[in-house]
Amino acid sequence: MSGSQENRWLRFRDDEAHEEPAVTLDAFLDQADASAVRLESGDDARLLIPHLGRIALVEVSFPRFRDGRGYSSARILREAGYTGELRAEGDVLVDQMLFMRRCGFDSFAPHAEIDPATLDAALSRYDYFYQSAADGAVPVWKLRHG
């Protein structure tokens, strides 16, 4: 993989990357053999819950960095038990990636290149969190009183 391509595709998983192109939600629901689906910002992630066992990749579109509906899609899928690859694609900014990881995203396909040092700094910015999230980090209040 070339250096620029490597920075465009950031993956935090140990398994092999899923190569099948993601189909739209409507196409996925009409096909019995699709294993990759793309959610647009207005799509209802709950429609995927009955199919989680056959999905290897859910790609969530972020058309603009300020459109936060994809965070909800990620949280819904992770809370429903989805363990496959969850990719944020589009206008993904480095300062959002820590929070996207907390919601359950484990791969990224940003439109703009991400500097690895800047990403490392962003992902390690906070030692503790106050909220429970899909990443399983123990909230700081629980550590203090646990």
Note the pLDDT tens digit of each residue in 78-117. 999 999 999 999 999 898 998 999 899 999 999 989 888 8
Burial class of residue 26, CB neighbours in 10 A (0-12, 13-18, 19+): exposed
Summarize the confidence of residues 22-43 as an average pLDDT.
Answer: 95
Quick one: pLDDT at residue 9? 60
Residues 109/79, Cβ–Cβ less than 8 Å: no
The pTM of the full predicted model, rounded to 2 decimals, is 0.82
CA–CA distance, 126 with 138 (Å, rounded to integer): 13
DSSP string, 95-115: GGHHHHHHHT--EEEESS---
Q: Which one has a higher pLDDT value, 70 or 143?
A: 70
**Strand pairing partners for 89?**
61, 109
**What is the predicted pLDDT for the residue at 5?**
46
Average pLDDT, the chain: 87
